[in-house]
């Protein structure tokens, strides 16, 4: 007889069934709510995460503008190069490929592995700015996740000759020094962009967003004449090496327009490989200040002539060769006796300049210095330009008024000094200066009467003739006008006994000046009395002018036998 097993029925309490149902429904509601949140409110995050896997925004670099000299000769130009970058999450690379990649990029495999190890990063550079040929070899490895980015590298054809003017750019093609920095915005332009879909091998499949076209930078045309720039640099370097000087600077101006045709500095550096440039990248002609010494005497004499108290032939007693003012004494290099005002300039008499200064009201001298541009920036548009210093005349003591007459106690830049002499070359009109090529000659400021300007120019011409302090500034076939300067260098504890700054500022042809040149030699060797402006700086002027005047086809205003050999006459040493 068959037996039946009774069914065991477990009956849950009603409250437990209801709790279980509520929990199941709550779980479904949470999942539904999470889905709605992710799809509606947090979808941007998910889209971005998805985009990171297959889409890329490519930067389209703008082409940096060229920098040229006034005749279109290249001073700075950009050349296309490639940068290798990777998206670590997408990279699939084996040991052999890593070694080959490291060899091509001239780096270590450990460095490659370290850069690719962080999968959180979507972009990392493996090597910047390599040649297109090398970049092609990298891509032949066929490593997924490794890409190329087009960039530009800056090249400077004139190298160290124009380094302080042009400057250089950094790794991101942004200006670091010189005009590369000063005009970075105009040169850089605006980058473009392009958003694309790529496969795992890095191939572009589809454009997602229309291309934003890059805007190329503007070209910059400097006022520099590359030929004259080379002449100035070459002769300045010779002088610095010959006189074992610490440094030097030289400026050549177009006397009619104020344009800078050359601005050279030594020591210099190679902007194509700007390493170890500490102390070499400073454009001393614009950012350094120094006491100009006797190159300031023409301004003092100009103030005297403008006052009506003096004429070029007015006599001044400079004997016995020194002048005591309170406890201080001013010296000439040797006693001259009675000198005319013109001879005070020719022989560079400190005593004569001091007596003229002390006879003038302090404000008259102060006004002259300020009108000639001292104590204020020239606004030439170069980074770091110094203003120099001319103290308020209300604080001057008699000894300070006297020493400022021959360039002590006042600080200037070489550019200010060169610019001041444009007034003597242009009938008393002080010209603004420019490092950019000008279309028309600018209108200057009338700071002197035409008569005073002519009289000063005639005095300056006497400086390079027998009896003057700058026979070595003469130029074959051309009349020259100029002034030497020699001053003790100012140190942290006052004037240094055996350290000097030698300078010369001149113009040619003297009959109708076309070029003005200022030269400064910092700390020339004191051996053999070669530290004077007439021996250290004037020869640089002569050598550059001789070639530059002929290069520009400027007519001669003197016969070819106008040179007086310095050894044939007494060499007048300048007072310091």
The DSSP bridge partners found for residue 340 are 315
Q: Is 294 a catalytic residue?
A: yes
Q: Which two tokens stand for residue 84?
A: 């290798």
Burial state string for 245-266 with b = 16 or more CB within 10 A and e = fewer than 16: bebbbbbbbbbbbbbbbbbbbb
- The most distant pair of C-alpha atoms in the chain lies apart, rounded to whole Å, by 162
φ/ψ (deg, to 5) at 205: -100, -40
- Looking at residue 94, the DSSP 8-state letter turns out to be -
Nearest-Å Rg of the Cα atoms of the chain is 37
- Looking at residue 369, the DSSP 8-state letter turns out to be H
Catalytic residue among 294, 348, 411, 434: 294
φ/ψ (deg, to 5) at 272: -75, -20
How far, CA to CA in Å, does 329 sit from each of 320, 401, 402, 411, 528?
A: 12, 13, 10, 21, 26
- Looking at residue 523, the DSSP 8-state letter turns out to be S
The full 3-state SS of 380-438, as one line of letters, equals CCCCCCCCCECCCHHHCCHHHHHHHCCCCCCEECHHHHHHHCHHHHCCCEECCCECECC
Q: How far apart are CA 295 and CA 348, in angstroms?
A: 9
- Taking a C-beta distance cutoff of 8 angstroms, is the pair 224, 69 a contact? yes
The DSSP bridge partners found for residue 79 are 153
φ/ψ (deg, to 5) at 571: -85, 110
Q: HSE (CB half, 13 Å, CA atoms) of 342? A: 18
Which is it for strands 192-198 and 55-60: parallel, antiparallel or unpaired? antiparallel
Give the Cα-Cα-Cα angle 365, 371, 375 (nearest 5 degrees).
85
Residues marked active site are found at 294
């Amino acid at each position: 007889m068959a037996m039946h097993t009774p069914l065991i029925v477990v009956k849950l309490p009603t409250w437990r069934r209801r709790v279980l149902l509520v929990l199941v429904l709550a779980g479904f509601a949470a999942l539904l709510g999470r889905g709605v949140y992710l799809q509606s409110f947090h979808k941007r995050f998910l889209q971005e995460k998805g985009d990171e896997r297959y889409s890329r925004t490519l930067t389209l670099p703008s082409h940096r503008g060229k920098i040229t000299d006034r005749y279109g000769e290249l001073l700075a130009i950009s050349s296309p190069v490639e940068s290798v970058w990777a998206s670590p999450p997408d990279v699939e690379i084996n040991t052999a490929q890593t070694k080959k990649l490291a060899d091509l990029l001239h780096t270590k495999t450990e460095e490659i592995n370290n850069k690719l190890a962080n999968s959180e990063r979507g972009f990392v550079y493996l090597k910047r700015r390599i040649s297109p040929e090398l970049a092609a070899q990298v891509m032949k490895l066929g490593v997924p996740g490794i890409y190329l980015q087009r960039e530009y590298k800056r090249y400077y054809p004139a190298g160290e000759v124009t380094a302080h003017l042009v400057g250089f750019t950094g790794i991101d093609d942004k200006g670091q020094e010189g005009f590369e920095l000063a005009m970075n915005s105009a040169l850089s332009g605006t980058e473009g962009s392009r958003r694309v879909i790529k496969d795992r091998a890095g191939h572009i499949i589809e454009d997602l967003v229309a291309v934003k076209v890059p805007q190329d930078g503007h070209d910059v045309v400097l006022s520099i004449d590359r030929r004259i720039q080379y002449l100035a640099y070459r002769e300045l370097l010779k002088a610095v090496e010959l006189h074992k000087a610490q440094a030097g600077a030289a400026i050549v101006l177009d006397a009619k327009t104020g344009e800078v045709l050359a601005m050279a500095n030594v020591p210099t550096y190679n902007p194509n490989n700007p390493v170890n440039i500490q102390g070499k990248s400073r454009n001393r002609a614009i950012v350094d200040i120094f006491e100009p010494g006797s190159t300031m005497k023409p301004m003092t004499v100009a103030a005297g002539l403008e006052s009506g108290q003096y004429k070029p032939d007015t006599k001044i007693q400079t004997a016995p060769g020194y002048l005591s003012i309170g406890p201080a004494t001013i010296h000439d290099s040797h006693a001259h006796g009675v000198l005319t005002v013109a001879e005070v300039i020719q022989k560079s008499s400190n005593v004569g300049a001091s007596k003229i200064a002390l006879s003038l009201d302090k404000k008259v001298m102060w006004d002259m210095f300020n009108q000639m541009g001292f104590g204020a920036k020239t606004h030439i548009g170069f980074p770091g330009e110094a203003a120099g210093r001319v103290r308020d005349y209300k604080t001057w003591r008699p000894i300070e008024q006297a020493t400022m007459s021959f360039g002590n106690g006042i600080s200037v830049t070489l550019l200010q000094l060169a610019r001041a002499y444009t007034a003597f070359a242009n009938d008393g009109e002080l010209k603004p200066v420019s490092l950019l090529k000008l279309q028309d000659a600018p209108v200057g400021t009338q700071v002197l009467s035409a008569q005073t300007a002519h009289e000063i120019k005639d005095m300056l011409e006497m400086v390079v003739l027998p009896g003057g302090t700058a026979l070595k500034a003469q130029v074959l076939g051309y009349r020259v006008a100029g002034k030497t300067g020699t001053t003790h260098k100012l140190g942290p504890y006052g004037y240094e006994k055996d350290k000097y700054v030698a300078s010369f500022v001149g113009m040619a042809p003297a009959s109708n000046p076309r070029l003005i040149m200022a030269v400064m030699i910092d700390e020339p060797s004191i051996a053999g009395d070669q530290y004077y402006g007439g021996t250290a700086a004037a020869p640089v002027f002569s050598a550059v002018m001789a070639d530059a005047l002929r290069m520009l086809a400027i007519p001669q205003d003197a016969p070819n036998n106008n040179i007086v050999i310095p050894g044939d006459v007494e060499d007048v040493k300048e007072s310091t």
